[in-house]
A and B are shown apart, each in its own frame.
Chain A
Amino acid sequence: MIKEIREPLIFEISAAGKRASELPQLDVPAKKDLLAGVPLRREIDDFPEVSETEITRHFTRLSTKNYCVDMGIYPLGSCTMKYNPKINERLAAHPAFAASHPLASADLVQGSLEVLKKLEGCLCEIAGMDAFTLQPAAGAHGELTGMMLIRRALEARGDARKYVLIPDSAHGTNPSSAHICGYTVKEIKSNEKGTIDLASLEQEMTEEVAALMVTNPNTLGVFESDICRIAEIVHAKGGFVYMDGANLNALTGVVRPGDMGIDVMHINLHKTFSTPHGGGGPGSGPVGVKKELVPFLPVPVIVEKGGRYTLDFDRPGSIGRVRAYFGNFGVIVRALCYILTLGPKGVREIAEFAVLNANYIRKSLEGEFYLKYPTASMHECVFSDKFQKEFGVTNLDISKRLIDFGMHPPTMSFPLIVHGALMIEPTETESRRDLDMFIDAMKAIAKEAKENPEILHAAPHVTYVSRLDEVAAAKFPVLRWEKKA
């Protein structure tokens, strides 16, 4: 593409009287005094006026300024940027579903309800849980729902308790979700292997602790091998184990959270089940529970009897609704299509190939980049910039330079326990060629760091814009376009 394309804001190309869409003439008699006395707006000040050609050019040009999975490897650790199958897009937009109304009576939307129930069933089997709710709209929303379920179950026993334990390697949503559920967070230190330190856990796990939130594999890509012992410690004090399923991609068909002592978990359909990230959303964060927590699930619960689906609202123990209607239905259709396409063997292959690809990258880059934790990697590996720091090069420089090689950078912002992290998750859908291109680029960058660090500091060199002044953006916020006075 042409690097120098400048695309103005739509407001800057707007001109009075232009339009890109017309409606048919009003076919009912117009009432003159309609809405008399109600404050109406004369017009929407400065709202855009452009032609359809201009709309199409505008968004097509903007689209060329994005990197995306369709273009190449997107190795963001913990984000599971895998290929998004195209047929799933088409089927999610199926007229029978796209037109189905969430307030229609259940007998008119049996097909939509069947989709929901089918996915619930598949997720129960894959995760080893007893029931799922599909209402949460994203992973963090699922975490909040899960913590509410735990709180309600503890209240039913007589005491909601005060604390939630979270390992220091956890994603930021975990402490935030626990907090919004009314709990105080206590951090659990990781040991030298990068996993939960059992002695610290035993010390912190008291009868005032409601739950442990654990990510497994954790954000280092390391499997918590002591998970069964961890669950025993928590259960012995009457607490629950919550699993953040962000990294489920490493486990499908190999081990099930429900079989290793997990009581509640969420799944990110936009990660493990390939629904597109869309530049930030929509996601979907179904929550799975074991039997004890089933009575507390959000309403309504979908009930199947002899192939007919009904909605059960009569659930006095329920935490209530966490979202209007049934969750992000379109995302749910895509995830179901993905599972139906893969089948039992294909779902297991997700984990097998995700782990193989990650270990291939790890092995190929060991020695070039510092690996703080030598523990075996699952679906992702976390290097750091320690070797490159000697030459004044940071993980940010390495990441920006990768863009010049035509690839998206890895995750840098966490885990917080690895300073200067480069968290790499290739996913199972990458080809050998794309993996090798990434490895070669990383090696070339490691060499440049020694020989020509300047080129890294100035990177990226090939993009529409160079590094942006983020400090100024926060200090002097300009958050909307305004007409020049």
Chain B
Amino acid sequence: MSYLSLSAKDKVEMLARVGAASVDDLFCCIPEAVRFKRPLDLPAAQSELELVRTIDTVGAKNAYGHHLSFLGGGAYDHFIPTVVDYLSSRGEFVSPYTPYQPEVSQGTLQLIFEFQTLICQLTGLDIANDSLYDGSTGAAEAVLMAHRVTSRDKVIVARSLHPQYREVVRTYIKNLGIEAVEVGFGPDGRIDAAELKRVLDDKTAAVVCQSPNFFGVVEDIRALSDAAHGVKALSVAVVAEALSLALFEAPGKLGADIVTGEGQSFGLPVSFGGPYLGFMACKKEFLRQMPGRITGQTVDKEGRRGFVLTLSTREQHIRRERATSNICSNQALCALRATIFMETLGKQGLREMAWQNAQKAAYAADKLAAIQGVKRKFTGPLFNEFVIELRKPWPAVDAALRAKGIVGGYGLEPEYPGIGSSAVVCVTELRTKDEIDRLARTLQEVLS
């Protein structure tokens, strides 16, 4: 089936108006030699009913859904109120383009203005953009931004930054002569302050640190920012679990100059890694170096309030190769979901959700650490993830847990060689006490 709307008669009449004898005539400007002469080798067209069956069949091959899961690591399973799905699926939000014509886009522009405000409130910074692709590219954009602001070519990156974010940062900077120096972590799971001090110098553009970091440990943003500022470098705080912002002091209030991260926790399903929602906020003195779209408030000819995309001279469609970033699109529909989510949870609900995450993770951490052969790897403060260290090798434990229908965590050894048999376990508000107890019970069985 297709989504065409012309009748056979329309087609004949329109070809006549155009002055073409056939549809092939319309392609006369394409040299005969390169034209594609056979039918495309694609599956035969399917009706809606067939398509649903096809996708059901493919979906059924995802065994993951039959497991009790404690996976986090930058993709978090949180409660999503029904209004988020309901309101965000309206065609008026789903099917417009970028709001370049503000008179017919006030809906999108106003909600993005609200999104920017919410991100500023959560991060404790002056300004926020309309969104970026995701947390990993947000981290990379923050590094490039710090490089532009400081004109320095070295960035210090915590090894406890999400391993995939670190890879993306490396991919981005490789061709630009920017060097990334990694700093390890101490027994508390926080960045190694002594090592940081050794590598910090007046060539450093930024100190990039995730909090809570990939081990779930909350960093001392104040100390990191002070250290960065001591050499006139920027402090970049990466937040892979946006919900944590509702509980901990805003990074901007602790000295961070740029806060960037992943907003998936705010109303977006884990959806195999995307689409997600990168966000970025910064101090207002860096406004002109900020990547991505920005929405601003203004007035119309009658003096009524309205919103427009603004400060676009930073962007590629005006500045071309001198733009602050090559980014063109944003993640508006994801930002809409996050905005509805944040406004629905509201001041009390968002903090309550964050608090429950912290309490449940603490309960689970204690419970698991009480099992013989299991201990907490790091002593630093936690949000909703923690690392357990095991007497037996993690791959074997993981397989045994899975055989009992549990995905217990994410093994760290492949990406952190030398860390020993350990895994990061995530507990959100969706995991019940019974489920946590079941994990503990099963782990004990597996290890005994």
A485 CB, min distance to chain B CBs, angstroms: 16
- Against A, the Cβ 8 Å flags (1 = close, 0 = not) of B257-270 are 00000000000011
CB contact list, A316-369 vs B, under 8 A:
319-331, 333, 337, 339-349, 351-353, 355-357, 359-360, 363-364
Pick from A110, A151, A171: contact of B63, CB under 8 Å: A110
- Against A, the Cβ 8 Å flags (1 = close, 0 = not) of B352-363 are 110110111011
Is there an interface contact between A39 and B222, defined as CB atoms closer than 8 Å? yes
Is there an interface contact between B433 and A27, defined as CB atoms closer than 8 Å? yes
Is there an interface contact between A468 and B36, defined as CB atoms closer than 8 Å? no
Known: A122-B42, A479-B116. Contact between A325 and B64, CB under 8 A? Answer: no
Q: Name which residue of chain B comes closest to A114, CB basis.
A: B58
Q: Does A81 contact B (CB under 8 A)?
A: yes
Is there an interface contact between A21 and B346, defined as CB atoms closer than 8 Å? yes
A256 CB, min distance to chain B CBs, angstroms: 5
Q: Does B231 contact A (CB under 8 A)?
A: no
Is there an interface contact between A67 and B105, defined as CB atoms closer than 8 Å? yes
Is there an interface contact between A173 and B316, defined as CB atoms closer than 8 Å? yes
Q: Does A466 contact B (CB under 8 A)?
A: yes
Q: Name which residue of chain B comes closest to A147, CB basis.
A: B175
Is there an interface contact between B325 and A431, defined as CB atoms closer than 8 Å? no
Chain B residues with CB below 8 A from A298, complex form:
171
Cα–Cα, bound, A118→B46 (Å):
15
Is there an interface contact between A278 and B30, defined as CB atoms closer than 8 Å? no
Among listed B87-95, B195-203, B369-377, interface-contacting one? B87-95
- Against A, the Cβ 8 Å flags (1 = close, 0 = not) of B62-92 are 1111010101011101010101011101111
Is there an interface contact between A21 and B349, defined as CB atoms closer than 8 Å? yes
Chain B residues with CB below 8 A from A282, complex form:
133, 274-275, 329, 331, 333-334
Chain B residues with CB below 8 A from A341, complex form:
1-2, 45-46, 48, 51
Cα–Cα, bound, A473→B312 (Å):
11
Chain B residues with CB below 8 A from A48, complex form:
118, 342-343, 346-347
Is there an interface contact between A473 and B30, defined as CB atoms closer than 8 Å? no
Q: Does A202 contact B (CB under 8 A)?
A: no
Cα–Cα, bound, A68→B67 (Å):
40
Is there an interface contact between A40 and B95, defined as CB atoms closer than 8 Å? no
B72 CB, min distance to chain A CBs, angstroms: 8
Q: Does A444 contact B (CB under 8 A)?
A: no
CB contact list, B288-341 vs A, under 8 A:
293-302, 304, 306-308, 310-313, 315-323, 325-334, 336, 340
Is there an interface contact between A468 and B175, defined as CB atoms closer than 8 Å? no
Q: Does B96 contact A (CB under 8 A)?
A: yes
CB contact list, A63-103 vs B, under 8 A:
63-71, 74, 76, 79, 81-85, 87, 89, 91, 93-103
Pick from B2, B94, B328: contact of A278, CB under 8 Å: B94
Q: Name which residue of chain B comes closest to A69, CB basis.
A: B95
Chain B residues with CB below 8 A from A151, complex form:
175
Q: Name which residue of chain B comes closest to A183, CB basis.
A: B175
Q: Does B344 contact A (CB under 8 A)?
A: yes
Q: Does B239 contact A (CB under 8 A)?
A: no
- Against B, the Cβ 8 Å flags (1 = close, 0 = not) of A11-50 are 1000000111111001111110011011111011111111
Is there an interface contact between A339 and B98, defined as CB atoms closer than 8 Å? no
Cα–Cα, bound, A408→B95 (Å):
12
Known: A41-B248, A102-B270, A280-B329. Contact between A259 and B36, CB under 8 A? Answer: yes
Q: Name which residue of chain B comes closest to A280, CB basis.
A: B332
CB contact list, B19-57 vs A, under 8 A:
19-20, 23, 26-31, 33-36, 39-46, 48, 51-52, 54-56
B447 CB, min distance to chain A CBs, angstroms: 20
A185 CB, min distance to chain B CBs, angstroms: 5
Is there an interface contact between B96 and A66, defined as CB atoms closer than 8 Å? yes
* Number of B residues with CB within 8 Å of any CB on chain A: 198
Known: A276-B333, A279-B105, A282-B331. Contact between A9 and B114, CB under 8 A? Answer: yes
Among listed B119-127, B150-158, B181-189, interface-contacting one? B119-127
Q: Does B136 contact A (CB under 8 A)?
A: yes
Cα–Cα, bound, A464→B272 (Å):
39
Cα–Cα, bound, A71→B108 (Å):
15
Pick from A89, A109, A254, A330: contact of B62, CB under 8 Å: A109
Chain B residues with CB below 8 A from A280, complex form:
97-99, 108, 130, 293, 329-333
Among listed A133-141, A233-241, A384-392, interface-contacting one? A133-141
Q: Does A306 contact B (CB under 8 A)?
A: no
Q: Does B227 contact A (CB under 8 A)?
A: no
Known: A281-B330, A331-B275. Contact between A323 and B340, CB under 8 A? Answer: no
Chain A residues with CB below 8 A from B346, complex form:
18-21, 47-50
Is there an interface contact between A185 and B321, defined as CB atoms closer than 8 Å? yes
Cα–Cα, bound, A81→B120 (Å):
32
Pick from A38, A95, A180, A329: contact of B272, CB under 8 Å: A329
* Number of A residues with CB within 8 Å of any CB on chain B: 198
Pick from B6, B59, B107, B315: contact of A431, CB under 8 Å: B6
Is there an interface contact between A432 and B14, defined as CB atoms closer than 8 Å? yes
Most buried by B among A321, A467, A470: A321
Q: Does A159 contact B (CB under 8 A)?
A: no
Among listed A221-229, A286-294, A445-453, interface-contacting one? A221-229
Pick from B62, B164, B249: contact of A108, CB under 8 Å: B62
Chain B residues with CB below 8 A from A84, complex form:
94-95
Is there an interface contact between A56 and B269, defined as CB atoms closer than 8 Å? no
Most buried by B among A21, A348, A356: A21
Chain A residues with CB below 8 A from B26, complex form:
352, 355-356, 359
Pick from B29, B269, B359: contact of A378, CB under 8 Å: B29
A440 CB, min distance to chain B CBs, angstroms: 14
Most buried by B among A79, A85, A280: A280
A182 CB, min distance to chain B CBs, angstroms: 4
Pick from A91, A352, A400: contact of B103, CB under 8 Å: A400
Chain A residues with CB below 8 A from B381, complex form:
35, 37-38
Is there an interface contact between A87 and B51, defined as CB atoms closer than 8 Å? yes
A28 CB, min distance to chain B CBs, angstroms: 4
Pick from A62, A89, A91, A99: contact of B111, CB under 8 Å: A62
Q: Does B176 contact A (CB under 8 A)?
A: yes
Known: A34-B362, A325-B273, A468-B102. Contact between A414 and B328, CB under 8 A? Answer: no
4 A-B pairs with the lowest CB-CB distances in the bound complex, closest first: A325-B273, A343-B45, A278-B333, A96-B59
Task: Name 25 interchain pairs, CB-CB below 8 A, sorted by A.
Answer: A9-B113, A26-B356, A28-B360, A34-B358, A35-B218, A41-B249, A44-B347, A48-B346, A59-B340, A62-B106, A62-B107, A68-B92, A70-B91, A140-B328, A176-B323, A340-B45, A340-B54, A348-B40, A356-B23, A431-B6, A460-B103, A464-B106, A465-B103, A468-B307, A468-B308
Known contacts A321-B171, A477-B311; 11 further A-B pairs (Cβ under 8 A): A83-B3, A101-B64, A118-B58, A137-B275, A228-B31, A256-B36, A259-B34, A344-B44, A351-B27, A359-B18, A473-B310
